[in-house]
Amino acid sequence: MNAETALDDAYFDYCPWDFVGRASAGQRAAQDAHQRRLAEAGARLGPRCYVSPAAGVFTDTLRLGTDSYIAGHAYVTGEVTAGDDCTVNPYATVRGRITLGDGVRIGAHSSLLGFNHGFAPDRPVHRQPLTSKGITVGDDVWIGSHVVVLDGVTIGDHCVVGAGAVVTKDLAPWTVAAGNPARPLRDRRAQGGPRRDRPASGDLPGGLSDGLSGNRPGRPSGDLGDAVVRFADRARAQAADLVARCWNPDTGRYADRPGTHATVRAHCDAVEIADLLLGSPPEQFAADEHAARLRALQDPGSGLVPEFAPDGGAGVLPDPAADGWIDDGTAEYHVLAVGYALDLLGSRLAQPVHVVRRMTVSQLLARLKSLPWRTRTWSAGAWVDCWATGAHRNLELGVEDGEPGTLEALFGWLTTRVDPWTGMWGTAGSPAAGRLQLVNGYYRLTRGSYAQFGLDVPYAERVVDTVLAHGRDQRWFAAGRENACNVLDVAHPLWLAGRRGGHRTAEVRAWAEEQLTRALGRWRDGAGFGFGPAGEGGGGPGREPGLQGTEMWLAIVWLLADLVGVADRLAYRPRGVHRPEPARSPGFATPG
């Protein structure tokens, strides 16, 4: 028996996991031809995928990640996307709008039905309209045989669904469920009892434990609202002192925390904190003096603001790139920080952001294409944030772009390149790398573009799905591992994408309540908030309390409190870089 006949073709219909290792050359050629036909119909299949010719695959959209397969006699229709290492076993049905994470196993004879019929009495069922909310399955999920999952359900990461279950409601991550209708049996991580996901009241630091016990996810009690009031009162009483501790009268500048060098951002953070908690500029200067100092920092050639030199003198920017742009991440962020600090002081930049004003449409599109979307999505999003904010500032000054239509070109490019399955830009991550770059890049990109200009983000429900999945990644969000950047970059997209709809609101509220409870306990009397443990690549100023951590966490607390429903009790609302509202009305017009 030769290699060509060692295994019958039908074998792989039922055992597709063996195809990569055991198929003959002829069988591989036949599978390649079958995949080409699928690709001609719009499918996108990753490396080492297998789709049985005996499967009924009639999709409008089909995307399979690496090492995924569809076995024989499966029935797959609609808009189906799957991550890496996903399996649709024999006789399974996957129909409608279905999104699978990485490592999903769908057992034989199971059905994921991402659509529904109406059944009103005024017409026959076969004439009723179809509806589709879609089904979302997280990473590392095992759906046993003969399971039925109904439209609108979300199954969280790491769930196991027992054979024969009928899933009619969302399952939280790590749930082991079974039955008709499916009911949670236990937490997959539990060893002899239910797992406690949130700290008991006695675990909360900072004197905030009283009044927090008994809160249930999705059902904020008055106790949490009371804790928010106590926090805001404490922060307000200490605001002037915590800003003053970071002021160096010898240099006449602010540092993030005592003993560190002065930075432009520290001055801007001091302005934001004082505005937020005191409604006035930091007491070291009058508002017009603060504004004059910040306005004087702008480089006349580029319109950017360099960082102070190590000796405390004026900073110098690097040479511009071929398109005239100056690649300096700190100076790029200063477009945000200085511009919004000046807003709070009743002032504006002294001159336009020239590197934005001079960029042509072709230069902008070339730059967007060259950004590191696949490897460093955060950096790509940060660049968009800077450029769009520079355009906003130029409009504010009444300055036209060098070539008309550049701002429209930005939004056109972004809208046509967003991934409809994640709602984001860049690669969708992997089990090993997670979604950190993807989600953090999304926050920076949308902050400066869609959010700042008052435009709805595309695929808002998919954004919520992606961000919630990331927000449950224990590498970044286990107690004690969170930092301000990572929590902000989940809280803001959940607020932005979810504010006009009701998609998964209970899960969003539960996540926000847990993070809010933890955040309130991080406050250090007389010093404020620390940024938190270093992020990916070592970013951030660290755990020690400082101006950056305080400014960011104050904004995060507001966002989380608003998601929970108690933001009104803080009696403050961010107005600077991390403001929830747009900086201008849609249409790109200069405000009157």
DSSP state of 326: -
Q: Which long-range contacts (CB under 8 A, 24 or more apart) does 306-309 make?
A: 306/330, 306/331, 306/334, 307/263, 307/264, 307/331, 307/334, 308/253, 308/261, 308/262, 308/263, 308/264
The candidate with the shortest Cα–Cα distance to 564, out of 235, 231, 230, 216, is 216
Q: Name residues whose C-beta falls within 8 Å of residue 313's C-beta, 6 or more positions apart in sequence.
A: none
Cα–Cα distances in angstroms (integers) from residue 197 to residues 419, 434, 454, in the given order? 32, 21, 36
Collect all residues with Cβ–Cβ distance below 8 Å to 218 and sequence separation of at least 6.
506, 507, 509, 510, 513
φ, ψ for residue 62, nearest 5 deg: -140, 125
The β-bridge relationship of strands 247-248 and 154-155 is unpaired
CB atoms within 10 A of CB 338: 25
- 112 beta partners: 94, 149
Q: Which of 92, 98, 93, 30 is nearest to 64 (CA)?
A: 98
Distance CA 431, CA 211 (A): 38
* DSSP annotation of 356: H
CB 508 within 8 A of CB 209: no
- Separation between Cα atoms, residue 266 and residue 262, nearest integer Å: 7
Q: Which residue has the tokens 């600090």?
A: 341
Q: Tokens for 494?
A: 């959940």
Task: Tell me which H or E stretch contains 141.
Answer: strand 141-143
- 117 is known as an active-site residue: yes
Look up residue 579 and give its amino acid: R
Residues 6 or more apart in contact with residue 452 via CB below 8 angstroms: 388, 389, 392, 582, 583, 584
Measure CA 458 to chain center. 13
- Given 34, 73, 109, 117, the catalytic residue: 117
**Residues in CB range of 38: below 8 A, 6 or more apart:** 45, 51, 57, 62
**Could you give the C-alpha distances from 175 to 143, 187, 189, 478, 507, in angstroms and in order?**
12, 5, 9, 18, 14
Among candidates 540, 574, 488, which has minimal Cα distance to 271?
A: 574
Q: Indicate which residues carry an active-site annotation.
A: 117
